[in-house]
Chain A
Amino acid sequence: MSHKQVGAPPGESAVDWCLYQLNGAAEFEVSEADIISTVEFNHTGELLATGDKGGRVVIFQREPESKNEPYNQGEYNVYSTFQSHEPEFDYLKSLEIEEKINKIKWLPQQNAAHSLLSTNDKTIKLWKITERDKRPEGYNLKDEEGKLKDLSTVTSLQVPVLKPMDLMVEVTPRRIFANGHTYHVNSISVNSDCETYMSADDLRINLWHLAITDRSFNIVDIKPANMEDLTEVITASEFHPHHCNLFVYSSSKGSLRLCDMRASALCDKHSKLYEEPEDPSNRSFFSEIISSVSDVKFSHSGRYMLTRDYLTVKVWDLNMETKPVETYQVHDYLRSKLCSLYENDCIFDKFECAWNGSDSVIMTGAYNNFFRMFDRNTKRDVTLEASRESSKPRAILKPRRVCVGGKRRKDDISVDSLDFTKKILHTAWHPTENIIAIAATNNLYIFQDKVNSEMH
C-alpha cells in the first residue's frame, strides 16, 4: 500500500497519475494523417483502439500479468494495425469523403473474436479481429511452402497436425454499412441488446441491425422542410447502457433529448428534454456557440448523463430535466477571450468527456495539452498535462495551474501563453481501473494510477 493512500489527509486526491506509456512520433515529425481522432477501450479494458485522420485503426492489447516480468505489467502493446477507411470521391456531388475515423465502438465480446465498429463521415464498418496461433502442418498433397508435391514421392498418408505458430492477428471487414447518411456521421452507439446500433449525423439518426447492411431505420429526423429554417443540429448521441429502448441525443443549442423507441417508430418527439435556462449574467454574442454540446455520455450506472460544452462539463440526472445536478468549469478563464477564439475557430473545437469506472470522477480535455479531472464526491479538481517534457516514465504528474492575473505561483502558466493548437479532444477511461488514454495530436499517452501500477 502506498503511503499516499493511507493516512492521506481528507480532501486530498488519493490518486496519483503517472505516465505509463507514450506512443507516437515526436511532435516535430507529425504528419496530418497520424493525428489521432478517436480513442476507445473495449468492455474489459484489455484492448484499446485508436483511429486516426489517415483512416487507420491501431489496437493495443494489455499484457497479461505474469510473475516473471513484473515490470511489464499492464503495458499496452500494439496488437494490430489496419486500414479501416480509404479516402473516397463522391462523383455525383464532386465531393471528397474524408477517411478520418470519427468514432470507434467495441461490441461486447461474444466468442473468441473481438469486433468493433469504425466510422468515417459516411460509412460504418464492422471489423472482426481474430487470433491465429496454430497452423496445420503435414499436408499430403502440398509441401511446406504450399507447392504441389510430386505424386511419385508420396508413399504414405498422414493426418495434418496443428502446430503452434507465432501469433497472428487477422482483421477482416465483416459488414459495410454504406449510403445511410447524407450528412456527416458524428457518433455511433451499440445497443445493450448487442443486435442493433445507431449512427447519428447532423440531422438524422439511423438504427441498424448488425447483420443487415442494406437497410436502416431512420429514428430521428430534425431536418426542416425548408433548410432556411434550420437552427439546430445533432451533435452527439448514445444508447442507454441498460435500457435498450432509450437513447439520448444532444444538440447545438445545448439541449439533450431522451427518446424512447417504444413510443413511436420515428422518435422526433422526445420523451424528455433536458435544457438549462441561460444565465443572463453570462450572456454574450457567443452564448449560443459555447452552449453547443460536443459530447454526451451515460454513466455506467445509467442514472446520469455527462455533457461537454465549450467551457463546462455538466452532470444531468435522468429524472431532472430542468437543470444539471452538477456543473464543473473546465476553463472559465477563456470566457473573456471568446472573440479571439471565435476568430481562430477554436470555439468550435469538440472536446470529449469520460466517466471513470465507478462514476465518481469525470475527465475532459482542454488546451495546451491539459486535461482536467473532477471528483464528484470530494468536489476537488485537478489539471494535468500530457507532454513529453513534463512526463518522465513512472514519475507522478504534477498538477498544473492556469493563472488569470493576480497572484502567480511558480510553474503557473498564464492564459495568454496557452497553446491553442495543442488540444486534447479525445480521452478514454478504462472501464474498471484507473487507467486513462489521452490523445494529444499524434501521440497516445497512457497514464496509470501509481498505486495501481505499484501493486502489480
Chain B
Amino acid sequence: MQNLESSCLGSFLFSKVNRYCKENGLRAVQLIRTSCEELRSYCVTFMLGRGLKRKLSDYEENMAGLSSAFDSSRNLPYPLKRQLVLNMCLTKLQTYKMLVEPNLHRSVLIANTVRQIQEEMRQESNQQPINVCPGITPSTQSYTGMESSGISLQLPSGISQQESNCCDLRSVEDPIENSLLIVSDDDMSSAISSILKDLDFVEDISPPTCLVPTGDDQPKFPENTGLKLEDDRQDLKGAECVFGSFEISNSTSYLKDLAIDDIFEDIDTSMYDSDFCCPPLMPPRPPSLATEEPLKTFPSCNSSSASNIQLCRTDLSELDHIMEILVGS
C-alpha cells in the first residue's frame, strides 16, 4: 500500500506539474517548488492526520518544513522520503547549474546520491512481480477500500483484509509509477550527465553540449546524445520490457481489461480540473464513512488516480516535455 500512496502522490504531483506547465509555462525551478510544496502539505498532513491549509509561503520555508518533516517523522513512508530527497537533490543541481562556477565536490556528492536513489528505484521495479491478471474481479471492493480509507493513517490496517486484492491493485499502480520513474530515470541520468559535462567546461573550450531528454516522438536532438539516450532506453527496455510497452500505441491488455475508467467514473474530477491554485480542501462528494477527515485532504489523490491513468496513457509526451523544461537549459 505504501507504493500505492507514493504512486498516487507521485502521479498526482507529476500530473499537477504537467497541468501547471501547460497552463502557465512556468520555469523549472518554480515547478519543483510547487511539487515540493505539495509534498510538504502531504507530509505534514500525513503526520498530523488532519487538513492543513496550504500556505503560499517561502520556498525556503517549504523546504525547511519538508526536511524537518523527513527528519522528525518515522511514519513517513520510505518511497516518500526518497522522493523528497530526490527532489532536493535535483533542486540543488538545478541551482548549481545556474551558477557561473559550480562547486565540483558538492555536485559530485549530490549526483552520486541521485544515482543511488535511481538505482534503488530501478532495482525495486525490477523485483516487483507483475501480475498481468486479466479482469481483476474484486476490483470494486478493493477500490472502494482505497477510496474509503483514502491515503490516511488508517490505511495499513485496512490493507490486511484486502491483501490479495491489493496485490493486484499494486500491480496495476506500479506500472504507472514505474513507467513514470523510467522516464524520469533516463532524464535524471541525462541531467546528471549534462551537469557533470558542464563542470568540465574549464578544460573544454567548446561550449558544453546539453543532453536534452526527449520523448520518443521528438526526433530532433543532437546525434550523440540521442544515441546515448536511446541506449539507456534500450537497456531499461530490455530489463523491464514489461513496462516498456506502457505507451499509447501499444498499451498492454490488462489496462483495457480493467476498465478503470468505469470504476472511477463516479468520482468528480471537476475540482481537480479547475484552477490549479485552489487548494484542494473540500472533497467534491460527501464521504459517508468514519474516516472523513483524512479523506478531506486527499480527494485529489483519489480523483487523480483515475485521471492520472488517463493522463498516463495520453500524456507521456507531455511529461517528457516537463522533464525537458526541468532539465534542459
Contact = CB atoms under 8 A, between A and B. Distances in A.
A and B: partners?
yes
Interface of A: 93-96, 182-184, 202-203, 227-228, 230-233, 235, 252, 285-286, 288-289, 292, 336-340, 342-345, 348
B67 A340 contact: yes
Interface string B185-207: 00000001100110111110000
A289 B85 contact: no
Interface residues of B, number: 35
Interface in B58-72: 63-64, 66-68, 70-71
Contact of B71 (A93, A235, A336): A336
A286 B114 CA distance: 10
B71 A338 contact: yes
A233 B192 contact: no
Contacts, number: 82
A292 B109 contact: yes
B198 to A, nearest CB: 9
Contacts of A289: 109-110, 113
A228 B193 contact: yes
A20 B211 CA distance: 57
Contacts of A344: 64
A96 B88 CA distance: 28
B50 interface: no
Contacts of B121: none
B197 A93 contact: no
A232 B108 CA distance: 7
Contacts of A343: 63-64, 66-67, 88
Interface stretch (B99-107, B130-138, B169-177, B267-275): B99-107
A143 B156 CA distance: 97
Contact of B67 (A96, A228, A288, A342): A342
Contacts of B88: 339, 342-343
Nearest to A95: B101
Contacts of B111: 231
B155 interface: no
A252 B64 contact: no
B203 A182 contact: yes
Contacts of B236: none
Given A183-B202, A202-B105, A343-B64, A286 B100 contact: no
Given A338-B71, A340-B64, A340-B68, A285 B82 contact: yes
Nearest to A94: B100
10 contacts: A182-B203, A228-B192, A232-B108, A233-B104, A285-B81, A285-B85, A339-B70, A339-B85, A340-B64, A344-B64
B1 interface: no
Contacts of A235: 105
Interface in B35-90: 63-64, 66-68, 70-71, 81-82, 84-85, 88
B197 to A, nearest CB: 6
B71 A348 contact: no
A348 B81 CA distance: 20
Interface centre among B70, B82, B105 (most CB of A within 10 A): B105
B201 to A, nearest CB: 8
Contacts of A338: 71
Contacts of A345: 106
Contacts of A348: 105-106, 109
Nearest to B91: A343
Contacts of A184: 104
Nearest to B101: A95
B22 to A, nearest CB: 29
B112 interface: yes
Contact of B105 (A93, A233, A285, A340): A233
A95 B100 contact: yes
A343 to B, nearest CB: 4
A182 B202 contact: yes
Contacts of B66: 343
A160 B291 CA distance: 102
Interface in B198-247: 199-203
B113 A252 contact: no
Contacts of B203: 182
B117 interface: yes
Enumerate the 7 nearest inter-chain pairs by beta-carbon distance, A residue then B residue, closest first: A227-B200, A339-B70, A343-B67, A339-B67, A228-B193, A340-B67, A285-B85
Contact of A288 (B68, B105, B109, B192): B109
Contacts of B104: 183-184, 202-203, 233
B202 A252 contact: no
Given A227-B199, A340-B71, A252 B101 contact: no
Nearest to A231: B112
B116 interface: yes
A344 B66 CA distance: 12
B67 A285 contact: no
Contacts of B196: 227-228, 230
A172 to B, nearest CB: 31
Contacts of B197: 227-228
A232 B81 CA distance: 25
A33 B84 CA distance: 36
Contacts of B109: 252, 288-289, 292, 348
Contacts of A285: 81-82, 85, 113, 116-117
Nearest to A184: B104
B202 A93 contact: yes
Nearest to B86: A285
Nearest to A201: B104
A292 B109 CA distance: 9
Nearest to A343: B67
Given A289-B113, A342-B88, 16 more contacts: A95-B100, A202-B105, A203-B104, A227-B199, A230-B108, A231-B108, A232-B108, A233-B105, A285-B113, A288-B112, A289-B109, A292-B109, A337-B71, A339-B71, A340-B70, A345-B106
A416 to B, nearest CB: 10
B88 to A, nearest CB: 6
Nearest to A290: B109
A447 B285 CA distance: 69
Nearest to B117: A285
Contacts of B100: 94-96
Nearest to A294: B105
A36 B106 CA distance: 22
B148 to A, nearest CB: 33
Contacts of A230: 108, 196, 199
Q: Most B CB atoms within 10 A — which of A93, A95, A338, A343? A: A343
